[in-house]
Amino acid sequence: MKIGIYPGSFDPITLGHLDIIIRASKLVDKLIIGVLKNSSKKPLFTVEERVELIERVTKNVPGTNNIEIASFDGLLVDFAKKQNATIIVRGLRAITDFEYELQIAQTNHKLCPSLDTVFFTTSVEYSYVSSSVVREIACYGGDISQFIPESILQSVYDKYKSIRSV
């Protein structure tokens, strides 16, 4: 059984992420979406919330019943080994992503030679979409409806509302 991991912060999941999930789930028997728990960045959503948002978004997507969602801490290669994964999936939006992604892919392969990284080029309509841009727009109350799935739209606005009311 070919197991792939699509790791990321997913803070929050975007339409670009969803596009990669749908395409990558066809490449492997099981696709584990690995949500990074401890990032150097301070996330907007807790890891439990990010997992729940991904569950909500992927629940009714046809052809993606081979998806699992899990959080992880520490090194990606250790998580991948524990899950018996042989493929890491990452999306490439632009050339600016490439340098960082290449370095991480090569490092991960050195740390665990049985792991290979497969890159998906993002669909053109999502090539500029990122979680950080979504957070920036939502923070100022802007319209993020073309960037993230509709089912989580209100949760993102509510999160900023709750932050402002503290």
- Residue from the set 5, 6, 7, 45 that interacts with ligand PNS by CB under 6 A: 7
The 3-class SS string of the chain reads CCEEEEEECCCCCCHHHHHHHHHHCCCCCEEEEEEECCCCCCCCCCHHHHHHHHHHHHCCCCCCCCEEEEEECCCHHHHHHHCCCCEEEEEECCHHHHHHHHHHHHHHHHHCCCCEEEEEECCHHHCCCCHHHHHHHHHCCCCCCCCCCHHHHHHHHHHHHHHHCC
Q: Is 151 designated active site? A: no
Q: Minimum Å distance from CB 52 to ligand PNS?
A: 17
> Is 41 a known active-site residue?
yes
Stretch that binds ligand PNS, among 4-12, 25-33, 63-71, 138-146 (CB under 6 A): 4-12
Binding site for ligand PNS (CB under 6 A): 7-9, 36, 75-76, 104, 107-108
Q: Which positions are catalytic?
A: 17, 41, 93, 131
